[in-house]
A and B are shown apart, each in its own frame.
Chain A
Amino acid sequence: MLDRELAGQVLRTARARGGSFAELFVEERSSLTIRLDDGKIEELTSGLDRGAGVRVGHGTSFGYAFSNRLDPDALLEAASAAAAAVAEGAAGQVVDLRAQDPPVVHRAERPAEAVPAAQKVAWLREVDDVARAFSPHVRQVSASYGDSVQRVLIATSDGRWVEESRPRIRLGVQVVAGRDGVIQTGFHGPAGLAGVEFFDEHPPAATAEVAAKRAVTMLDAGPAPAGEMPVVLAPGMGGVLFHEACGHPLEADIVDKEASVYRGRIGEVLASSLVTGVDDATIPNAWGSFSFDDEGVPAQRTVLFLDGALQGLMYDRLRAEKDGVASTGNGRRQSYAHPPIPRMTNSHILNGPSKADDVLASTERGVYVTALGGGQTNPASGDFVFGVSEGYRIEGGKITSPVRGANLTGRAIEVMSAVDAVADDFDTWEGVCGKDGQGVPVGSGSPTLRIARITVGGTGG
């Protein structure tokens, strides 16, 4: 995308007034999205994005400038603009740029860009057919197919030269079911850092069925119970909760701003001893993985909780430098138009000793959650809330009737300490996490787990 000589010149311009480091991030992204709705292929959108961002760091402050022009003039202009954020000082050094070896490569076996668009349209048609055939109560199906290849080049003043190609693929299906004036929706959207071989494991028809079943099942839902009670989270869902309630407050920028409930508490036991949680960007072909983060730091696995004890934070370069530690490879950005910040990759709670059946059988009364609609957390207090998009009552150790309108609220430390059973049936859930106006692909994962007491908000008794 750019030769090393020009990259070096850009970095030297960026360091004209000093600062602790300079970095150039160049990106080209080609993408195809296809939307099916109301039985029609509504549109196919083909996109070509490119641009570059130049950052100059100075303590935990930074100057950032970006442009979607890649010519030398535009790049040097951006470098000067970013340099202007740093107080006047002596020019900084730029070390010779050397290519880095990736710790793991996520390759598309069968690249999506080589597959004709007509085949992708056919997958969406199949999704529509399967979802509608699932039940006469299915009223509407919308689905989107997306693939993209993001090619990045990162060069830094301390000599890093990183090139990576990230192929991403996702199929999301939303189904609306209706009966007797009741309307419910169901969504499922597995995604990977892979080519179309991803669909060998996640066939479009299976995705359509999960979404349709979710919507149709919820037609029979009654009001959710309200109050404090045990909640069993189905595989994957504990990971979503872990991401929101524990992950965000463990991002080093949140901690640095003294807005984290976990600040200064490393080494303390702040979760049940059954909880071991990691953030892992090295999982092959996982949605939140990469070879290098967006600052050119190799992907790694970071243990956050070990048997309930807090182990560490997720760092980008700025925050790591400030704390005098190494970056954990969590510096990520949505695109060249955004400066990197500490972000999760794939955040997982690992398998425990129990069997899912036993966990349910030993729960007298509570709620079983099979889909969370996402959530929000206040990292300062640890308060969080999650909507339950698919859930059931547990009565006498058995899953009984579906419930609607439920949500879960609580505080991170209390809730994670209340985990009293962790099973061995790990699964994942993929999403796009938003923070400071930037969306990045993230994976979550967990086995079945039970929280002994948590507040369920609902309208029923």
Chain B
Amino acid sequence: MADLTELAGVAVEAARDHESVEAYAEEARRTEVTAHKGEVEGLTFAESRGVGIRLIANGRLGYAYAADPSLEEVREALARARESAELATEDEFNALPPAEPIEPISALFRQDQAALVTERKVSVALDLEHLAVSADPRVTKVDQAGYGDAVSRVAIASTGGVNAEYGRTDCWAVVSALAEQDGETQAGWSFRVARELGELDWGSVANEAVERSARLLGAVKPASGRVPVVLDPFAGSSFLGVLAGALSAESVQKQRSLFADLLGEAVGSPLLTLVDDGRTLDGPAAATFDDEGVPTGRTELIAHGTLMAFLHNTYTARRGATDSTANAKRGGYRTPPGVGTTNFFVLPGTTPVSDILRQAEGGVLIQDVSGVHSGANPISGEFSVGATGLRIQGGEVGEPLREMTVASTVPEMLKGIAAVGDDLRFFTAVGVPTILFAEMTVAGV
């Protein structure tokens, strides 16, 4: 079996004189274990590899991929990409990035994790479920309790001279707990990710899921009104996805962003600084290079409320006459690179969460929002989402609330930030601390 660099290399060798060709090859080995009622519910092993080929000829782009190809099938995929390119529209900004020196990040790959035996993974999954059903008498079952991990490797080669590869290990734990009382059921979840099992705090995943489900028992619908709203990191992370889309240069250039004409202007409270950093090891999405081989870096997108920059890949950077911020992103070898985030996070402030709760007297702590993907319009910035949470009384969280909707617009929300907590928490690739909003519309009955 050919290795990744060999597969990528054969595509580049087969390029014709006037063609730019890039081959992105990846392979992964994944294991997932879920537990239910003290037994292994599912055990999944996976091995996959594939190659995606991007070909640019006369400014026209074609793409083709093949799963687990032989060297001959890579050449065939290149031929399909060549045919496809002939039908695409010419675009002067289509180009591959030039080769740049790449600093490896050795901490991304952990030998111990790559060698972890299946029995250990099974025991973690069983332990997760056991912890979840033992912490609180009202929580006797889980909707989901699981451990998963992946060992993966990526190689990129291009006619532009890129020739890079790196490996990584990732592992994660997830629990969705169900709390019950008097015929009512409430769900609460938690999730954590790490580079090796020794750094994965799965005990707190179980505890958080239990606490977050149990505290919703007895929830009532709130009255409608404008009140202070606190988003905890779980709820806040759901909103960051909407911001990520609006800050992509691709959205901006296609007039699909509410930030399109606002570079250099105040778009949020001075308390807000929003960063994308593909190198910080604090975030799980750190990578040596982005999905077209550009070395990762750090970009301040919003600094103290002022819009400073957008997220760029090589294409959008050329089109916008600027440099790539190393934010090329693809959904694996099956798709050509678009624009996406790496570690995308709100810089933590200095306010302890207890102070935030005191400032939000009479307001609502939102712990979970649903329907952000459908209820928020990334272009107009309007949203109205369903939420669950807790009333804030006397500086503490109190009565649980259900079936509420929170409605506002992204610009209003960013400007209405009244405090930023010191408790930054990462969920996969987005990170956010607890945030206080001076006032938002909460609708119930």
State the A residues within 8 Å of B (CB): 34, 37-51, 59-69, 78, 81-82, 84-85, 117-118, 121, 139-140, 142, 176, 178, 182-185, 224, 226-228, 257-259, 261, 337, 339, 372-376, 378, 380-381, 383-387, 389, 404-407, 409-411, 455, 457-459
Contacts and interface: CB of A to CB of B under 8 A. Distances in A.
Contact of B143 (A46, A259, A376, A411): A259
B42 A339 contact: yes
5 contacts: A45-B84, A226-B405, A375-B370, A376-B370, A385-B370
A49 B77 CA distance: 12
A109 B142 CA distance: 47
B443 A457 contact: yes
Given A40-B89, A185-B377, A458 B443 contact: yes
Given A51-B48, A381-B187, A406-B384, 19 more contacts: A39-B89, A44-B63, A46-B62, A48-B66, A48-B67, A51-B68, A59-B39, A62-B41, A64-B44, A65-B45, A68-B47, A226-B405, A226-B407, A257-B141, A378-B370, A380-B143, A387-B384, A404-B382, A459-B441
B371 A385 contact: yes
Contacts of A46: 62-65, 77, 80-81, 83-84
A49 B41 CA distance: 28
A183 B258 contact: yes
A141 to B, nearest CB: 10
B186 interface: yes
A102 B117 CA distance: 43
B105 to A, nearest CB: 27
- Give 5 nearest A-B pairs by CB, closest first: A457-B405, A385-B386, A373-B374, A44-B84, A387-B375
- For B42, B178, B253, the residue with the greatest tally of chain A CB atoms inside 10 Å of its CB is B42
A56 B346 CA distance: 45
Contact of B68 (A69, A78, A381): A69
Nearest to B43: A85
Contacts of B380: 182-185, 404
Contacts of A407: 371, 375, 384-386, 405
A410 B386 CA distance: 10
B50 interface: yes
Contact of A226 (B141, B224, B375, B408): B224
Contacts of B254: 37-38, 140, 142
B36 A257 contact: yes
Contact of A381 (B186, B377, B383, B443): B186
Given A45-B335, A380-B186, A381-B185, A455 B405 contact: yes
Contacts of B321: none
Contacts of A38: 253-254
A373 B373 CA distance: 8
A257 B81 contact: no
Contact of B45 (A81, A176, A226, A459): A81
B127 to A, nearest CB: 17
Given A139-B255, A459-B441, A61 B65 contact: no
B407 A405 contact: yes
- For A61, A67, A458, the residue with the greatest tally of chain B CB atoms inside 10 Å of its CB is A61
A389 B384 CA distance: 11
Nearest to A36: B89
A380 B118 CA distance: 32
A38 B404 CA distance: 38
A380 B384 contact: no
B91 interface: yes
Contacts of A121: 87
Contact of A42 (B61, B118, B221, B402): B61
A41 B43 contact: no
B88 interface: yes
A387 B374 contact: yes
Contacts of A61: 36, 39-43
B298 interface: no
Interface in B168-191: 178, 184-187
A375 B63 contact: no
Nearest to A257: B143
- For B141, B142, B371, B384, the residue with the greatest tally of chain A CB atoms inside 10 Å of its CB is B384
A40 B253 CA distance: 13
A357 B16 CA distance: 63
Nearest to A59: B39
Contacts of A40: 88-89, 91
Interface string B422-445: 000000000000000000010111
A236 B83 CA distance: 39
A43 B186 contact: no
B41 to A, nearest CB: 5
B371 A375 contact: yes
B126 to A, nearest CB: 12
A117 B334 CA distance: 19
B385 A259 contact: no
A378 B368 CA distance: 12
Contacts of A386: 371, 374-375
Contact of A224 (B334, B379, B384): B384
B141 A41 contact: no
Given A85-B40, A140-B255, A407-B386, A43 B84 contact: yes
A259 B185 contact: yes
Interface string B66-88: 11110001000100110111011
Contact of A117 (B45, B68, B84): B84
A176 B253 CA distance: 13
Contacts of B371: 374-376, 385-387, 407
A40 B49 CA distance: 31
A116 B370 CA distance: 42
B256 interface: yes
B46 interface: yes
Interface in B85-114: 85, 87-89, 91
B336 interface: yes
Contact of A259 (B62, B88, B187, B255): B187
B151 to A, nearest CB: 15
A1 B39 CA distance: 36
Contact of A409 (B63, B66, B403): B403
- For B69, B80, B258, the residue with the greatest tally of chain A CB atoms inside 10 Å of its CB is B80
A68 B51 CA distance: 12
Given A68-B49, A337-B48, A385-B405, A43 B62 contact: yes
B198 to A, nearest CB: 25
A82 B43 CA distance: 8
A45 B336 CA distance: 8
A257 B64 CA distance: 41
A211 B5 CA distance: 44
Contacts of A37: 254
Contact of A375 (B45, B374, B382, B404): B374
A41 B408 CA distance: 36
B67 A50 contact: yes
A378 B50 CA distance: 36
Interface string B225-267: 0000000000000000000000000000111101000000000
B250 to A, nearest CB: 9
Contacts of A41: 87-89
A438 to B, nearest CB: 12
Contacts of B63: 43-46
B54 to A, nearest CB: 9
A376 B221 CA distance: 18
A43 B80 contact: no
Nearest to A77: B47
B72 to A, nearest CB: 13
Interface in B329-344: 334-336
- For B66, B67, B253, the residue with the greatest tally of chain A CB atoms inside 10 Å of its CB is B67
A455 B405 CA distance: 9
B380 to A, nearest CB: 5
A68 B48 CA distance: 6
B43 A64 contact: yes
